[in-house]
Structure 1
Amino acid sequence: MSEKVEKDEEWDFLEIEDVKLVYVGKLKANLKKLPPQAILLAILVKYFEKFKEVKITKFTKITFEVEKKVFEPILSGPLLSFKADNFGPFTREIYDILGFLQNLDLVKIEKEGDKTEIILTDKGVEVFRERIKKEIPEVVLKLIEIVVERYGSLDHDELLHRVYKEYPEFAGKSVVRDKYYQGVSY
């Protein structure tokens, strides 16, 4: 049982709960072929498999956690361009991608006051199941599911506290950091 390994393939170790990856070269190649819109839709579908609703701030933080714990280790770099902002990690790309998905009727965006809710449509679920799910390796979907479940179950305050504690470099510009990130210097 020998397997030829090409020189440019990467061997890394990635573990989240019971899912362990040792070889990420093929995963990296598969994921690099996918547009960020497909990956964001996958995160949304995995979120809505477990939870009923999501506000944009929470979804941004969960996407950030998926990026840090799943995509950065596999891709050896970021998928999206998160930066420190008023409420922790932020990227305009999420809003742009959600707008794109909304134009395709894959999601609905509903604003009420200062809160924005994301709603996954039946068409979004169908496109994921018929097309995107087949393109994303099953092990990556499982990793996304684990991270989404772990962080999606937290309420807003717990989630921000955890993100700020794990990634203090993204709390530096936050206007609410004192509320969520106590006792640690930046």
Structure 2
Amino acid sequence: MQYEAREIMIVEGAQSACVHWILKGSCRALKKVKFVKRETGTIIGGGKKYSLVAYTDGMPLEETDEVVEQMLCAMELTPGSLYPEFPRYKHYSNQESSIQMALSDEERNINKLELIARLTYEDPDDQALGSYYSIVANTKCEIAVMSRVDYVRLASNEMVKSVLMDRESYIVPVQRLQDVFLEKRNWDMYKRKVVAGLVSGGK
């Protein structure tokens, strides 16, 4: 299977019965992230001044607040990478990394029949089974495809365990994406302000 540069390979939230390996090319994992555009004052000429703050579900909003979305790049995927992520399975969850390390080898064993059943009878309304990211090709990409059920049947326990554990590095929490984006945005604004001050001071 091949994709051209800038072609969407999978959309965030979409379910796939297959796992895709990147053989050639590169792509990026994009996450739709919410922020609050908040009015903070006025500027010369009467215009409004705004700032962006991280949005969280249930947070109190002011009357003039506007919830906006940004597509943020979480990572680059290169040959050898796979997508979308496998669904969570028992202890193999990005939210339980501290617990995982304390588990015995026996506790960390994988019941392949149970995992196959989980993959075979996926609920189309279960959002947890959808792709965490949208995947978009940076360059022309060549992809190998196999059903996730066949992969679990054919792969060794260690290979399946490795794929499940890879969620740790693959799933970047939304809060982390928000923090990095806002930090970079504030730094860029500061640099522009400094440059503008140097230019005006030199006149």
- With normalisation by structure 2, the TM-score equals 0.27
Structure with a larger share of its residues in helix: 1
Greater share of strand: 2
Structure number with higher relative contact order (C-alpha < 8 Å, ≥ 6 residues apart): 2
Give the TM-score taking structure 1 as reference length: 0.28
